């Protein structure tokens, strides 16, 4: 039980430290005068360093905790000797080493496998609590709850951005559009406005901007493949739908694309997850917070 308590204490302290860091970051941002680009750059670099330092320190504390748990687990699996057994060992110190039977070897092997499995379980449980994915998700959930919102999870199938936007259109009472419709509209807008977007897309082969042929292929992939959507597609979707898109992250302030459409009165709200899946970034949608959903 002591191990569990230590785990919980460490988790709570890490959460508190991250909350305090966010407050510090907000104060730093507020200290920048409007238009002072040099100071803004310095503050941005300082914030990145603060977040990096905290990540490294907390990860090291987690590793130290895991090592301690594993050590305790190994010690618990050792069977203490009685005084009589110790005396017997001393009296027979020069006796030949007894042969271990095959049955005993099998039992030892089974016990070693069980010990190793238990250690993996302990380590996985620690990673579930302190891992980047869980820390990020819990931070986003807290931000949403303060706004009476909660996560609406979207499958990670390459269409997450478009499916998240599709769900949001239903939530805010706009004309429902499926991910296929949104992909086609995004592709068509990209084709019709190449000069606006090609500077932000680079070729993997040459590190330069797309050629006309590469850009056309990119537009085709947007419409017909499971290619992930990113910053460029968010810009396009905001224009196509003529509404702002707000993206909430675990750290830092939310950023808004298409603020010029703010007077329309409705905003698409998405959450951005860097660590939810190993394959890359992921977008989820949101919905109104209800106690019933939270409990389930």
Cα separation, 278 vs 136, in Å, equals 14
Catalytic residue numbers read 157, 160, 282
Looking at residue 38, the DSSP 8-state letter turns out to be H
Half-sphere exposure of 240 (CA within 13 A, CB side): 25
Residue-by-residue DSSP string for 212-240:
HHHHHHHHHHHHHS-PPP-HHHHHHHHHH
Whole-angstrom Cα distance, residue 143 to residue 254? Answer: 10
CB atoms within 10 A of CB 258: 21
Please, are residues 129 and 7 in contact by the beta-carbon 8 Å criterion?
yes
Spatial neighbors of 216 by CB under 8 A, at least 6 apart, are: 191
CB 153 within 8 A of CB 267: no
């Amino acid at each position: 039980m002591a191990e569990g308590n230590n785990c919980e204490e460490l988790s709570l302290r890490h959460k508190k430290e991250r909350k305090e860091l966010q407050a510090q970051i907000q104060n730093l941002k507020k200290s920048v005068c409007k238009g002072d680009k040099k100071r803004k750059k310095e503050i941005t670099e300082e914030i990145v360093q603060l977040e990096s330092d905290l990540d490294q320190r907390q990860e090291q504390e987690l590793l130290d905790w895991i090592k301690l748990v594993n050590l305790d687990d190994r010690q618990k699996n050792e069977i203490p000797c009685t005084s009589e057994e110790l005396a017997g060992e001393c009296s027979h110190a020069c006796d030949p080493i007894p042969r271990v039977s095959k049955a005993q070897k099998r039992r030892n092997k089974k016990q070693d496998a069980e010990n190793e499995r238990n250690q993996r379980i302990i380590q996985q449980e620690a990673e579930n609590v302190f891992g980047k994915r869980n820390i990020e998700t819990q931070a986003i959930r807290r931000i949403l709850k303060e706004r009476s919102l909660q996560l609406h999870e979207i499958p990670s199938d390459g269409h997450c951005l478009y499916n998240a936007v599709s769900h949001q259109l239903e939530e805010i009472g706009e004309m429902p559009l499926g991910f296929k419709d949104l992909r086609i509209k995004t592709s068509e807008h990209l084709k019709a406005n190449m000069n606006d977007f090609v500077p932000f897309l680079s070729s993997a082969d040459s590190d330069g901007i797309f050629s006309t042929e590469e850009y056309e292929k990119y537009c085709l992939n947007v419409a017909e493949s499971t290619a992930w959507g990113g910053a460029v597609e968010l810009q396009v979707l905001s224009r196509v739908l003529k509404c702002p898109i707000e993206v909430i992250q675990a750290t830092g302030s939310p950023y808004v694309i298409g603020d010029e459409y703010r007077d329309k009165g409705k905003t698409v709200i998405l959450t951005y997850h860097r660590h939810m899946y190993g394959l890359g970034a992921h977008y989820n949608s949101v919905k109104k917070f209800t106690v019933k959903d939270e409990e389930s």
